[in-house]
Every structure is written in structure tokens, then in C-alpha cells.
């Protein structure tokens, strides 16, 4: 009989031997560059280079290069190639002393798309120079807002507002100038004609604020600008002479509508009596009747010519239904482009202020 081994009373564990986990040490990251590039602040991706001017009161506030860059950037923004938000966390005050369809909606939409909050202000809230001085209004609004847009009567009032404001001021229309309209119009020409240089532009009708801004553009972009108007509806010749002294463009004033239109790339017109001049509507209708844009007059322009009107139109007066609704008309493209060009102007003015 085999003797039994004495039990020690301790239990022994059985099973496979424990595996020791391997520890993998991460390799040190490569040395960072000595001067890494700083990322742009949120909201500034795709911003334009900016402009030297603080304000946009006339087209001549921008240099030729800045005008071209603003148009190019507006086209890129419209195409969805850039989407900055320079107005983020900012409000824009929109002072309107004149009624508006396109100007108000296009500016409000542009501010919103650029990340800001538009505030519509009528003459009842702000009576410039009456309830408060323009100086005081400018100083107060600059403390609240990132941008001021004004549509009013007096160019001098807009210039004084800009002089005292510490934020950018944009002229959305005065009796003397309408710069945003004309930038939108030449942007539309770029889209339809493929260029903006050396175009022949026939403006038919009253020598008004819209024509003055065309003359300002002629001081920046080479063109053959012609005004067909009556001897009683001439423009401010000081504005015309200022543009001529720049020697960039040819500017002709004629009382013959056919001479104005002959070989033109763009036929342009506006209402014969602007806001604040409706008491002169009947007189101007008699003076400007020969300058109506109609099918007969269009025959003297280039076959590829386009027709522009800044709107609102008095159909049957300065332009016929046949023309404004015809295949050469680009008036609703112009209206849309107010949104894109005004957003581009805002972006340019804010680009160097962030």
C-alpha cells in the first residue's frame, strides 16, 4: 500500500501562464515649424483684401483696383465660392429717408448673409440736423453699430455723418449720387458681356444722380460714356468735368438720342423725374420724350447690346413694355446684383477693421 502524502492545507492554482502585455511607446512628433501660420479668425475666411477708404459715399472713394476687386469678389460670393461673416456679432443701422424696394431689401439681406443684424430706421426716429445734430447722431450710432447705411436727400448730410462716425458709412442713395446701383450695373455687364472695360454706354434721360455715378465710374474704368438728354435736363457739369480730368474715359453729352445710342453696348435709362421731383414730372416728360428707350431706338445699338434700368420703371414713359420685358433686358439681374455688390462693399470696408 502506497503511503498518502501529507496535505499542507494550501490550495494550488492551475492554468496557463499569464502573458505580459507589451507597452508601445509613441514616437515623438516631428519638430514644429519655428513660425507656424496663424489661422484667420472665425468668419473671415474668403474675405477680400479690403480698401483704403473708411466709407463708400461715391464710387471715386475706391481706387480702380478696388473697384475691380469688389466686382470680382461679389461674383465669387454670388457663386458660393466664399462665405465670410464679417458682420458676426454686429448690427447695421439702415437710415432711410426715402421709400425703397430694392435698396432696403438688398441691404438687409446682405447684412444678414454676412452674419449681422440689420436695423431699419426711418426719418421719424432720426431727423438729421433737426432733432439732433448730425455730429451727435454719428457719435451715438458708432457706439452701437458696426456699420451705417443711409438713403437720404442731401449728399452733404451723408458726408458730414461719415466725417463724425467712427464706423463705415455707405451711401445708399442721395440726390447727387447712387454709387451702389452703378457698381451692381457694371457687375451685371461683366456677367452678360464678359468684360467691363471699354464698353460704350448710352444713358438716355435725365442727367440725374444715377448718371453722376456713371460719370464717377468713368473716372475709374475706361469706357465710352454718352448721355442723351435735353438742354433742360443736364447733369451737374462739375461732376462730369471731374471725371473728364481723370482722362480715363470719353464722356459725351448730346441732345440727339440716335447719336447717343449708335453702336452702344449698354442702353441705360431711369425715371425722368426722381423722388422729390415728381412736381416736375409733366415738364420732364415733354422734354425727354424723344429719349424713350423703344424698339426703334435699339436698332441703332450693337446687336449684342443689353438694356439696363435701375428701377422702378414708369413703363410706357422712359421705356416701353416691349423693351423692358424683351430679350435684351437684364433689369432683374441688375436688381438681384444689388444684394451681391452691396455685400461686397460691406466686406471690403470691414476687411481691415477686424
Catalytic residues: 310
Neighbours of 178 (CB within 10 A): 29
Q: Which of 290, 308, 160, 296 is nearest to 228 (CA)?
A: 290
Burial class of 249 by CB neighbour count within 10 A (0 to 12, 13 to 18, 19+):
buried
Cα 346 from Cα 43, distance rounded (Å): 14
Instruction: Give the count of beta carbons closer than 10 Å to the beta carbon of residue 55.
Output: 20
Going by C-beta distance under 8 Å and a sequence separation of 6 or more, which residues neighbour residue 244? Answer: 251
Q: Taking Cα atoms as reference points, which of 258, 272, 285 lies closest to residue 202?
A: 258
Region at 26 (left for phi over 0; alpha for psi -120 to 50; beta for the rest): beta
How many other CB atoms sit within 10 Å of the CB of residue 253? 18
Q: CA angle, 219 as apex, 292 and 58 as ends, to 5°?
A: 80
The Cα–Cα gap between 148 and 171 comes to 9
In the block, cell 421731383 appears at 277
Amino acid at each position: 500500500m502506497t503511503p498518502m502524502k501529507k496535505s499542507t492545507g494550501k490550495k494550488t492554482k492551475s492554468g496557463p501562464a499569464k502573458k505580459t502585455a507589451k507597452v508601445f511607446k509613441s514616437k515623438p512628433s516631428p519638430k514644429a515649424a519655428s513660425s507656424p501660420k496663424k489661422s484667420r479668425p472665425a468668419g473671415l475666411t474668403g474675405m477680400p483684401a479690403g480698401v483704403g477708404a473708411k466709407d463708400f459715399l461715391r464710387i471715386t472713394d475706391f481706387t480702380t483696383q478696388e473697384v475691380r476687386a469688389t466686382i470680382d469678389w461679389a461674383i465669387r460670393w454670388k457663386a458660393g465660392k466664399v462665405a465670410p461673416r464679417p458682420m458676426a456679432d454686429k448690427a447695421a443701422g439702415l437710415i432711410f429717408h426715402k421709400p425703397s424696394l430694392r435698396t432696403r431689401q438688398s441691404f438687409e439681406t446682405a447684412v444678414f448673409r454676412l452674419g449681422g443684424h440689420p436695423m431699419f430706421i426711418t426719418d421719424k426716429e432720426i431727423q438729421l440736423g433737426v432733432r439732433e445734430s448730425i455730429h451727435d447722431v454719428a457719435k451715438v450710432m458708432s457706439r452701437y453699430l458696426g456699420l451705417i447705411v443711409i438713403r437720404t436727400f442731401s449728399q452733404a448730410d451723408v458726408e458730414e455723418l461719415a466725417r463724425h462716425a467712427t464706423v463705415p458709412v455707405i451711401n445708399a442713395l442721395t440726390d447727387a449720387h447712387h454709387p451702389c446701383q452703378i457698381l451692381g450695373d457694371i457687375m451685371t455687364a461683366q456677367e452678360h458681356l464678359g468684360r467691363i472695360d471699354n464698353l460704350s454706354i448710352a444713358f438716355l434721360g435725365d442727367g440725374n444722380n444715377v448718371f453722376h455715378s456713371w460719370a464717377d465710374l468713368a473716372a475709374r474704368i475706361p469706357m465710352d460714356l454718352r448721355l442723351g438728354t435735353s438742354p433742360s435736363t443736364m447733369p451737374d457739369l462739375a461732376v462730369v468735368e471731374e471725371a473728364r480730368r481723370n482722362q480715363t474715359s470719353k464722356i459725351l453729352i448730346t441732345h440727339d438720342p440716335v447719336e447717343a445710342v449708335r453702336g452702344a453696348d449698354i442702353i441705360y435709362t431711369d425715371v425722368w423725374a426722381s423722388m422729390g421731383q415728381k412736381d416736375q414730372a409733366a415738364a420732364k416728360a415733354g422734354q425727354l420724350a424723344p429719349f424713350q428707350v423703344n424698339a426703334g431706338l435699339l436698332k441703332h445699338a450693337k446687336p449684342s447690346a443689353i438694356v439696363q434700368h435701375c428701377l422702378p420703371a414708369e413703363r410706357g414713359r422712359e421705356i416701353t413694355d416691349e423693351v423692358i420685358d424683351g430679350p435684351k433686358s437684364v433689369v432683374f439681374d441688375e436688381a438681384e446684383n444689388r444684394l451681391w455688390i452691396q455685400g461686397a462693399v460691406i466686406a471690403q470696408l470691414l476687411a481691415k477693421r477686424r
